[in-house]
A and B are shown apart, each in its own frame.
Chain A
Amino acid sequence: EAEVAQSPRYKITEKSQAVAFWCDPISGHATLYWYRQILGQGPELLVQFQDESVVDDSQLPKDRFSAERLKGVDSTLKIQPAELGDSAMYLCASSFLPKSTDTQYFGPGTRLTVL
Chain B
Amino acid sequence: AQSVTQLDSQVPVFEEAPVELRCNYSSSVSVYLFWYVQYPNQGLQLLLKYLSGSTLVKGINGFEAEFNKSQTSFHLRKPSVHISDTAEYFCAVSENDYKLSFGAGTTVTVRA
Contact = CB atoms under 8 A, between A and B. Distances in A.
Interface residues of B, number: 23
Interface stretch (A63-71, A76-84, A98-106): A98-106
For the residues of A in contact with B, the DSSP-based class is: loop
Contacts of B51: 101
Given A42-B90, A101-B51, A108 B102 contact: no
**For A40, A93, A100, which residue has the most chain B Cβ atoms within 10 angstroms?**
A100
Given A42-B90, A42-B92, A4 B43 contact: yes
A32 interface: no
A78 B105 CA distance: 26
A14 interface: no
Nearest to B107: A40
B105 A107 contact: no
A108 B43 contact: yes
Main secondary structure of the interface of B (DSSP, over half): strand
A106 B97 CA distance: 19
Contact of B43 (A48, A91, A99): A91
Contact of B42 (A103, A104, A108): A108
Contacts of B49: 101, 103
A8 B103 CA distance: 26
A106 to B, nearest CB: 3
Interface of A: 4, 40-45, 48, 56, 91, 93, 99-101, 103-109
16 contacts: A40-B105, A41-B105, A42-B102, A42-B104, A91-B43, A91-B44, A100-B32, A100-B97, A100-B100, A101-B32, A101-B94, A103-B49, A104-B44, A105-B43, A106-B44, A108-B42
